Amino acid sequence: MNCEQNKLLQEINILCFTVVELTLFLDTHPDNQEAMRHFDYYNRLKKEKYEEYGNLFGPLNLNQAKGRNKEFQWTMQPWPWEGGNE
């Protein structure tokens, strides 16, 4: 796994954690508009980073693979934890 790929995966992990935490907070504070703005912002960033990763290194999940010509070849590339072409 190259440095750029590793950095992007780390950003995605941080954004996923942030979105989950904001979701849990909103479960108990559904009227908190500031938290909802943060949720919308970080969820949008997360989607953008998933798309960026998919375009550069291949999809991370099946939702990203939809509409691609080689939809299921994503399973043939090295998994993020296996490393890859460096």
Boundaries of every domain in the chain: 3-77
pLDDT band at 82 (very low <50, low <70, confident <90, very high): confident
CA distance 19 to 86: 31
- The answer for residues whose C-beta is within 8 angstroms of residue 12's C-beta and 6 or more apart is 46, 49, 50, 53, 60
- Does the pTM surpass 0.85? The reply is no
Q: Please give the Cα distance from 28 to 14 (Å, whole number).
A: 22
Tens digits of per-residue pLDDT, 27-71? 999 999 999 999 999 999 999 999 999 888 888 877 776 655 555
pLDDT at 16: 96
Which token pair is 85?
A: 């072409």
Q: How many residues does the chain have?
A: 86
Q: H-type helices in 29-84, by residue range? A: 33-57, 62-65
